[in-house]
A and B are shown apart, each in its own frame.
Chain A
């Protein structure tokens, strides 16, 4: 039996009095690939942040590898890609290399110094995303799609065991997006990286993820795609045409 990578128990999160997450409980096993979907404002990003320990739950518990998320020490085991527009200052004077290197900070102890092994890790991550030629470029001078690939490289550079990605393909063109999903798929199948990915692209995620977590403040469906496609309850929820579209792509 595979070990649990993420466990969420009775998680409630409120912004002031507004309940954003309502009594969520689920677990993700090591090696799972979970697509996290739901309408805008359904609490997907909040859930990701709670799993990372960035937000303290109003009640309930979140564990990563058996440790409370907020107290977890082995941060290098987790890779994270935030929603791009929420943080990025396009005028920031940083190179692509410097940006990707930020993903290695969690692996360092004081005084944090970068070595030749780190340079190789950066080169590998850039190579994986086919952006080695951009290494010396300024991050702000790149196109939106190139920037997103740099941030994905930053999330992958420390070779994490769990990857949490918040709408990673928003700025990518269809070709790059498909390449990115292929890459995630191979990381998941070959390196057993656990992936949890927020997306609005139900059709595409159906081709790659093994599991679907559909939420709207509470969990509406969590299980395998086959179960989703067979579920009459989901047919009633989505309508048969939408469900057929998702399941067709999955097949």
Chain B
């Protein structure tokens, strides 16, 4: 079977379309989070997602409806902990992360197990994405990306130097809450693509790959988006051709692209130094 034959299947079309929007969203937020040394916020919120999915399964509610508000509230919790409990971002993320996992395990235990395998959410399955999930992904991605585009200068300013941004009259609190809120939405959407355990990969890899070659902030955002799209498509194709888990394949392709970019940049630097 050729790649074009695969693309005739509706479930693969849905996977590519939804995955493309979510990947671009992840890459954009990833650039902002990595530069602010908050890369692991995705990991922490993904763990909270695990707990929220357990709650949703307990009440037999569609997971997205329960996960979105819980993860969004948790993202605010991380900011509040950072601001008021005199602890760093890493510790605040660690607290929420542990509580999310522990809560999920406790709820699953109290419920005596679920008909749906809770642990299937850990690794996702983009090929089983429904049309409703495709529409949700597209709409939420477009809203988040539009807000980021319209606030580009404020977001760039805060990412570069928050104190200076505040001195310029930018409402840094509003932007900070906006970014973690969008991250929460993105993490919940990403659950279906690569699963809870691998969510942070979609946030971190495109950004760190882009930083190997980016010649400006705008450039970094564009390269990260391209890397995310290419890795997604290659990951899906790889999984189909070799009958491998799709989420894990996407992440491994991301890693391979990062390593290739890293080695290429080092080779270029060495060549320049020689000249």
Contact = CB atoms under 8 A, between A and B. Distances in A.
Nearest to A138: B215
Given A54-B167, A75-B169, A105-B168, A93 B161 contact: no
A108 B152 CA distance: 12
Interface stretch (B65-73, B101-109, B178-186, B216-224): B216-224
Interface size on A, as a range, is 20 to 34
B166 interface: yes
Given A88-B161, A92-B35, A99-B160, A80 B216 contact: no
B160 A75 contact: no
A95 B216 contact: yes
Contacts of B167: 52-54, 75, 78, 80, 82
Contacts of A53: 167
Given A91-B211, A102-B156, A102-B164, 13 more contacts: A49-B163, A53-B167, A54-B163, A86-B163, A93-B211, A93-B214, A93-B219, A102-B160, A103-B168, A105-B157, A108-B153, A111-B150, A112-B154
Rank and list the top 10 A-B pairs by shortest CB-CB distance, nearest first.
Answer: A75-B169, A106-B168, A93-B214, A93-B220, A112-B153, A80-B167, A87-B161, A95-B216, A52-B167, A94-B217
Contacts of B168: 75, 80, 102-103, 105-106
B216 A93 contact: yes
Contacts of B215: 93, 95, 138
A98 interface: yes
Given A75-B167, A80-B167, A92-B35, A102 B217 contact: no
A88 B214 CA distance: 18
A2 interface: no
**Interface SS, B side:** helix
Nearest to A74: B169
Interface string B157-201: 100111111111110000000000000000000000000000000
A78 B168 CA distance: 8
Contacts of A52: 166-167
A91 B31 CA distance: 12
Contacts of B164: 80, 82, 87, 102, 154
Interface in B30-87: 35
Contacts of A154: 164
29 contacts: A52-B167, A53-B167, A54-B163, A73-B169, A75-B169, A78-B167, A80-B164, A80-B167, A82-B161, A88-B161, A89-B35, A92-B160, A92-B217, A93-B210, A93-B211, A93-B214, A94-B156, A94-B160, A94-B217, A99-B160, A102-B157, A102-B160, A102-B161, A105-B157, A106-B168, A108-B153, A111-B150, A112-B152, A112-B153
Nearest to A114: B153
Contacts of B210: 93
B84 to A, nearest CB: 13
Q: Which of B160, B170, B210, B218 has the most CB of A within 10 A?
A: B160
Contacts of B156: 94, 98, 102
A41 B164 CA distance: 21
Interface in A60-112: 72-73, 75, 78, 80, 82, 86-89, 91-95, 98-99, 102-103, 105-106, 108, 110-112
Nearest to B149: A111
A178 to B, nearest CB: 26
A53 B215 CA distance: 34
B151 to A, nearest CB: 8
Contacts of A75: 167-169
B94 to A, nearest CB: 22
A93 B217 contact: yes
Interface in A105-154: 105-106, 108, 110-112, 114, 138, 154
Nearest to A89: B35
Nearest to B168: A106
